Structure 1
């Protein structure tokens, strides 16, 4: 949730992208990767965003199947 807010409130998409790329380089946690995916989406890099999100979905297939049932 924190990553979503950071990307949302960043006025310049390139700044959010740079920030989360640095975070992923330093600590490739799921939260940072999610933030990077959101930053790519905000900058209209949809293919890269989807690729990162698909990697997270593959890592947690049971969680993604729960969200699809709603």
Structure 2
């Protein structure tokens, strides 16, 4: 039963830290726009063509399945 002297204050302090973290997240606006993030995840928009990388390979060199340049 002597272990309760350590466990009760530890549990109370961890609970208090969790409460402080939750209150900080409310104050900093973490829960302001929950629907916007959900709709952006299911939006039917493709990636911008300007952000898609393009690799130009000379006609005498090809990239085969292994990713190394060689004659296929």
Question: Higher helix share goes to which structure?
Answer: 1
TM-score by length of 2: 0.25
Question: Higher strand share goes to which structure?
Answer: 2
TM-score by length of 1: 0.25
Instruction: Pick 1 or 2: higher relative contact order, CA cutoff 8 A, min separation 6.
Output: 1
